[in-house]
Chains A and B, each alone.
Chain A
Amino acid sequence: MAINGVIVATILLSCLTATCYGITFSSLQRSLEVEASVKADQVLKAGEAKITVSWKVNATYSAGTESSYKTVKVQLCYAPISQKDRGWRKTVDILKKDKTCQHTIVERPYSASNNTVTYTVKRDVPTATYFIRAYVFNAAGEEVGYGQTTNAGKSTNLFSIEGVTGRHVSLDIAAACFSAFSVISLFGFFFMEKRKAKASN
């Protein structure tokens, strides 16, 4: 009896610590199966390409817990190669601090059917290699399960997105014009003053 009490207490304490420090990714079950219309190693253009993502519950993992799923959030996540040397995209186990997934495809209330979305890649998505992950949340807003298009090591089924450059011809022309104006007005002024000084002498 005492041991039961200790076990219960330990479980409660670890749950408490987990919530104090935040839910960790490693504690989540891979309870969703996520599929996307993107093939491995495909290159998509930001602002133009469309991705269709669909997800369904994975029967083997999530027996009975589906009733607690209230919200689902599908995100574009950086593959390890795009995280290398870039600490601002680091994968951290504590989900609150994790920066792997920074672009949301869709976030909506969970429903048992019609789990699909067609997403046009936004123009602020940078050039990088990605995979897609979906989290399900309970009523308290905590992650309770996930699914992703790649394997546990994040090495398969990755695709690339080519971001917009942000450059425009009009910007290039404006930059050239102002630069020319700056240089010409400088030398113009300089020689004009020199000539005036010579004339007055």
Chain B
Amino acid sequence: MAGIEGSPGSSMHGVTGREPVHAFSVASPIVPTDTTAKFDLPVDSEHKAKKFKLFSLANPHMRTFHLSWISFFTCFVSTFAAAPLVPIIRDNLNLTKSDIGNAGVASVSGSIFSRLVMGAVCDLLGPRYGCAFLVMLSAPTVFCMSLVSSAGGYVAVRFMIGFSLATFVSCQYWMSTMFNSKIIGTVNGTAAGWGNMGGGATQLIMPLLYDIIKKTGSTPFTAWRIAFFIPGWLHIIMGILVMTLGQDLPDGNLSALQKKGEVAKDQFGRVLWYAVTNYRTWIFVLLYGYSMGVELSTDNVIAEYFYDRFDLKLHLAGIIAATFGMANLLARPFGGFASDYSARYFGMRGRLWTLWILQTLGGVFCLLLGRADSLPLAVAFMIIFSIGAQAACGATFGVIPFVSRRSLGVISGLAGAGGNFGSGLTQLLFFSTSKYTTEMGLEYMGIMIICCTLPVMLVHFPQWGSMFLPPSKKVSEEHYYTAEYTEEEVQKGMHHNSLKFAENSRSERGNRIASAPTPPNATPNYV
């Protein structure tokens, strides 16, 4: 189930956080422990950890986890660091609403490309240097913020800082070298959620730093510039920690990673083809654009919104804005859990309904947030909106692993890019012009979420059904997953991993799983 080392998209394995086995540890009979290895955690034959011990810093597995998610968190902090300080920056740089909106779009657009490149960088240099390079080369861009003196400079610097969000890829890649594939889902899901929290934490940190610096005697227009040094230093500190304390593999040897003979057992072209021609891929790209995408957009506008609409002090607006992003700590895992729970009774149809309900709920409360005239109501609606949107992110990756086995990595990557693209588009449409006030922008964003979530009703798995249609009796899981290989490839036996997956995925039928017979034409030799 780990996929072949180096095969296209294998660096994205575990990104989903929702692969069928989801646990904090995997017991010995399933994956045998290598008893000769002297690590703090039980390891498998590749010396990947079989157990996920959250509060440990043991070298190398848990240390990697913490170095990795904190680096990702740091990049989120610096990408959204400007957002809570916009009320000060807009006066200093004489920004118009379109400047602010364009900067927001720029901050999420850069990473669409950098995430695509990052996979290759990790393959070339290893995840440790991939992470260190990105974090330390983006430190100068964070320091550049204190030099900015015009709208153009502001947009450019936010664009460059945004590249650092590609640490997501290095984070997931690095952990897949350290953790067994049976628990990689939980590990990567936790890391992704905790990294995303950075977008919330920054709304708290930056106004606080600004206030402290002002108290020491700086004028406002200098204080915010000094405040940006702190995220910059965090980049440098994390980069150095990653380089000195981190290692690429459990055994510490980078060159072994590159010497692995089993390079690309699958062809990237075919993997890409099956990802792109599966209509479900595009529906999930759209959906993720309106769950993760709106989360990123809201991170960019919410502090300024509360500051302006309710006349709050900067640090109070920051605290409220922070609760939006910090909900990721629990909301995203909750979405995945809700997806798994509904799948127990209703299978894939349950997962699709859960996703639709959570995301639509998020959209409704986004709409209500824009309408709310009083502060307590606005905060309440914002919190429910955040839970809906972030749980929907988790639930999306509850379904994506089943869309394709062969092209899982590429589809996950496309969905991720869709998130950033959705964010950029939404900010461009609703938050960049004076045509709409921010409250109108939130209302329209809510309506757009509701509309763009409707296509999930079109997602139909022949073997499991869709939201409104039952499964067709003739198609089995094996049919669906084998259809991704041509006759030739089936002859060569390339589809065996998919068959194994197909058998495991029978749980997506829901209650009827006990009585599901093995289809007669499934190849038996994958046992």
Contacts and interface: CB of A to CB of B under 8 A. Distances in A.
B334 interface: no
Nearest to A123: B219
Nearest to A197: B255
Contact of B94 (A124, A128, A166, A181): A128
Contacts of A123: 219, 221
Contact of A86 (B97, B132, B146): B97
B425 interface: no
A124 B255 contact: no
Interface stretch (A20-28, A113-121, A172-180): A172-180
B33 to A, nearest CB: 30
B226 interface: yes
B143 to A, nearest CB: 4
B317 to A, nearest CB: 12
Contact of A179 (B90, B94, B140, B225): B140
A164 B91 CA distance: 10
B146 A175 contact: yes
Interface string B436-466: 0110000000000000000000000000000
A9 to B, nearest CB: 29
Contacts of A163: 91-92, 94, 221
Contacts of A124: 91, 219-221
A166 B225 contact: yes
B160 to A, nearest CB: 12
Interface string B237-267: 0011001000000000001000000000000
A63 interface: no
A85 B100 CA distance: 11
Contacts of A167: 146-147, 149, 222, 225
A84 B221 contact: no
B370 to A, nearest CB: 14
B97 A87 contact: yes
Interface in A96-135: 123-124, 126-128
Interface stretch (B164-172, B228-236, B397-405): B228-236
B142 to A, nearest CB: 9
B96 interface: yes
A85 to B, nearest CB: 4
Contacts of B146: 167, 171-172, 175
Contact of A178 (B220, B226, B236): B236
Interface in A72-109: 84-88
Q: Place the interface of chain B in its size category.
A: 35 or more
B222 A166 contact: yes
A181 B137 CA distance: 10
A165 interface: yes
Nearest to B97: A85
A47 to B, nearest CB: 8
Interface stretch (A29-37, A141-149, A184-192): A184-192
Given A85-B98, A86-B96, A165 B132 contact: no
Given A123-B219, A166-B225, A182 B140 contact: yes
Contacts of B235: 182
B163 to A, nearest CB: 15
A138 to B, nearest CB: 23
B491 interface: no
Given A88-B87, A127-B94, A186 B136 contact: yes
A86 B235 CA distance: 33
A199 interface: no
The interface residues of chain B, by DSSP majority, are classed as helix
Contacts of A84: 96, 434
Contact of A181 (B224, B226, B236): B236
B366 interface: no
B144 interface: yes
A39 interface: no
A183 interface: yes
B44 to A, nearest CB: 26
Interface string B269-313: 000000000000000000000000000000000000000100000
B501 interface: no
A179 B219 contact: no
B194 interface: no
B480 interface: no
Nearest to B304: A88
A182 B236 contact: yes
Given A165-B221, A171-B222, A178 B94 contact: no
A172 B137 CA distance: 18
A171 B223 CA distance: 11
A124 B218 CA distance: 10
B430 interface: no
Given A85-B97, A85-B98, A178-B139, 9 more contacts: A84-B96, A87-B434, A123-B221, A165-B221, A175-B147, A178-B143, A178-B236, A185-B236, A185-B239
Interface of B: 87, 90-92, 94, 96-98, 129, 132-133, 136-137, 139-140, 143-144, 146-147, 149, 219-222, 224-226, 229, 232-233, 235-236, 239-240, 243, 255, 308, 434, 437-438
29 contacts: A84-B434, A85-B96, A85-B434, A86-B96, A86-B434, A88-B87, A123-B219, A124-B219, A126-B91, A126-B94, A163-B92, A164-B221, A166-B221, A166-B225, A167-B225, A175-B147, A175-B232, A176-B143, A178-B140, A178-B236, A179-B140, A182-B139, A182-B236, A183-B136, A185-B236, A186-B132, A186-B133, A186-B243, A190-B129
- Cβ-closest 5 pairs across A and B: A166-B221, A179-B140, A126-B91, A85-B96, A175-B143
